[in-house]
Amino acid sequence: MKLSESRICLDCEEVFEDNEHQACPKCASFATASLLLWIVPLVSVCAPVMMKKALKESGDVC
């Protein structure tokens, strides 16, 4: 399963492959979201913090 083809159910947190109905196969909920929309914001929020931490640990802080 590819990340871009994965969806997460907002009701039961089931992760499933995108289908034409975009409905959860477990609870039939239509409250689902593309996993990409969840992953990308997380990365952009955490990246500066992680880079800062890595710089601190390596001693290369300007």
**What does the binding site for Zn ion look like in residue numbers (CB under 5 A)?**
9, 11-12, 14, 24, 26-27, 29
Minimum separation from the CB atom of position 41 to Zn ion (A): 21
> Do the beta carbons of residue 40 and residue 34 sit within 8 Å?
no
Q: For residues 44 and 38, what is the distance between their CA atoms, to the nearest angstrom?
A: 11
> Do the beta carbons of residue 25 and residue 16 sit within 8 Å?
yes
Minimum separation from the CB atom of position 52 to Zn ion (A): 37
Minimum separation from the CB atom of position 33 to Zn ion (A): 12
By C-beta, is 17 or 53 nearer to Zn ion?
A: 17
